Chains A and B, each alone.
Chain A
Amino acid sequence: MGIVSRGFSGRRREGGDRLPPGQYLVEDFPVLSAGPTPRVPLDRWEFAIDTEAEQTHRWSWQEFMALPMQTPTVDIHCVTKWTKLGTSWEGVSLDVFFEDVETTAEYALVYSYGGYTTNLPLEDLLDGKAWIVHRFDGEELAPQHGGPARLIVPHLYFWKSAKWVRGIRLLNEDWPGFWETAGYHNYGDPWREQRYEGD
């Protein structure tokens, strides 16, 4: 047990076993980003997967909209300590985008409009673990929350869920992204409290 702070009793909010260590519950939806919010017109929007063999698969907004949609409801955990339970999204599973992608790469570098990047093992994007979403809570995804479309990978800290997603580059070697080169953990599992490098 850590040092006891005299006079502190705390709130003990609900959350139970859905709250990872060091997290607290919020009801609203905080925003975090490193720079200005990019505005991406839908007629110029595209999402791409670039393989290690330099094959590129592209989807326009219309092509994205024509894919089978799912409506995942998931808990999300931000490294800045907030957790939001039961968030509901609408979008396309990464498994759908990867159906015709031939790859033996083990790593993915996700990149966004505005220049943001984040890395994760490719297997963390597959088998129903990640989506490209365009709606939150029944509404169009707001620009400050990553609209028109963002990645969500709810089993990792939320900085891995890149806003304004533009594409995924598949790599044979791991390539650390924006926060991963700025002192944050390379993998970011909230249940193992992997916040910072070395955790």
Chain B
Amino acid sequence: MRRRLTWQAARLHEVRDETATARSLVFDVPGWPGHVAGQHVDVRLTAEDGYTTQRSYSLAAPADGDRIELTVEAVPDGEVSPYLTEVIEPGDQIEIRGPVGGWFVWRPENEAPVMLVGGGSGVVPLMAMIRARRQAGSRVPFRLLYSLRDQDRRYYAAELRRPEPGLDITYVYTRAAPPGAARPAGRITLADLAEGGWPADFAPDCYVCGSTGFVEAAADLLLTLGHAPERIRTERFGPTGD
């Protein structure tokens, strides 16, 4: 039986810049019940006059005791993300409710090969899965296909640059490819998923996360490659769809 989800005080412990517009925030949440990679939390902000607003954010890493991590992209004209990426400082408090979501999740006891397909900030819950795999010492083979505008948009750059046995990463740059890249810049294609993913015969569990346009395109390509629809889990990201 699940316990009832209540709002919990969360104190910002530290922040790390991921890109010019995104940062990871580590919160201490006393009594945090733990979570599964891929789950998200609700965040509630309250102003001095009592005005409140809520948003949902994916957890970017397994819990470290009472410590949890989010990665937030500043949405132009947003209400909550600019506060989390530009205003809040270590020691400040927000409220968090969670974990939420029992579908877009990966558990270390899952044995199927894993195909992660992330577009932009959609890489966040996928990173939680990569980190959960590492933490559990899992040998399940993972492949990550990470679609992003250009190199400056790369989250977790240093961590993903370190070689990790059993994790293969393919970057797909949509606006500007780095100098010397074999693949010209452009949106994700069938060839990208055929080369950077697993054959459908391997029956991998596929996790696709990104904007609506990205998820629609990537999930359709996976179907074209013969992956079973019930093995393709999707999550849409972003302020609102498109």
Q: Which residues of A contact B95 (CB under 8 A)?
A: 2-3
User: Do A36 and B223 contact each other (CB < 8 Å), given the known contacts A24-B53, A115-B230, A182-B102?
Assistant: yes
A-binding segment of B149-157, B160-168, B232-240? B232-240
> Taking the complex as formed, is A66 at the interface, i.e. its CB lies under 8 A from any CB of chain B?
no
Known: A115-B230, A196-B100. A5 touches B94 (CB 8 A): yes
Residues facing B in A1-32 (CB within 8 A) are: 1-13, 22, 24, 26, 28-32
B228 to chain A, nearest CB (A): 10
B212 touches A (CB below 8 Å): yes
A81 in the interface (beta carbon within 8 A): yes
Contact of B92 among A5, A29, A181 (CB under 8 A): A5
How many residues in A have their beta carbons less than 8 Å from beta carbons of B? 43
Query: A35-B234, A199-B4 given as contacts; is B83 within 8 A of A28 (CB)?
Result: no
In chain A between 70 and 97, which residues have their CB closer than 8 angstroms to a CB of chain B? 80-82
Q: Is A3 within 8 A of B46, CB to CB?
A: yes
Interface majority SS on A: helix, strand, loop or mixed? loop
Inter-subunit contact B44/A2 (CB<8 Å): yes
Contacting residues, chain B, for A82 (C-beta < 8 A): 240
Docked complex Cα distance between A30 and B213 (Å): 11
List chain B residues, Cβ under 8 A from A81.
42, 54-56
B83: chain A residues at CB < 8 Å are: 5, 7-8
CB pair A36–B232 under 8 Å, yes or no, is yes
Chain A, 145-188, CB within 8 A of any chain B CB:
178-179, 181-183
A197 interface residue per 8 A CB criterion: yes
| Distance of B219 from chain A, by nearest CB (Å) | 4
At the interface, yes or no: B48 with Cβ under 8 Å from chain A? yes
Could you say which of A7, A24, A28, A183 contacts B79, with CB atoms under 8 Å apart?
A24
Contacts of A10 on B, CB cut-off 8 Å? 45, 47, 51-53, 79
Are B2 and A33 in touch, CB under 8 angstroms?
no
CA distance A147 to B28 in the complex (A): 43
Q: Which of A3, A144, A179 contacts B216 (CB 8 A)?
A: A144
Q: B51 and A182: CB pair below 8 A?
A: no
User: Which residues of chain B are within 8 angstroms of A6 by Cβ–Cβ distance?
Assistant: 88, 92-93
CB-CB under 8 A from B44, the residues of chain A are 2, 22
Q: Which of B101, B236, B238 contacts A33 (CB 8 A)?
A: B236
Please tell me if the beta carbons of A3 and B94 are within 8 angstroms of each other in the complex.
Answer: yes
Given A7-B87, A10-B45, A10-B51: A37 and B230 interface contact (C-beta under 8 Å):
no
Contacts of B212 in A (CB 8 A): 30-31, 144
From 31 to 68 in chain B, residues with beta carbon under 8 angstroms from any chain A beta carbon are: 42, 44-48, 50-56
Question: What are 8 A-B pairs with beta-carbon distances under 8 A?
Answer: A2-B46, A5-B92, A10-B79, A28-B240, A30-B240, A31-B241, A36-B222, A182-B103
**Residues on B facing A (Cβ under 8 Å):** 2-5, 7, 9, 42, 44-48, 50-56, 79, 83, 87-88, 92-95, 100-104, 212, 216, 219-220, 222-223, 229-230, 232-234, 236, 238, 240-242
**Top 3 A-B residue pairs of the complex, sorted by shortest distance between their CB atoms:** A198-B4, A182-B102, A36-B219
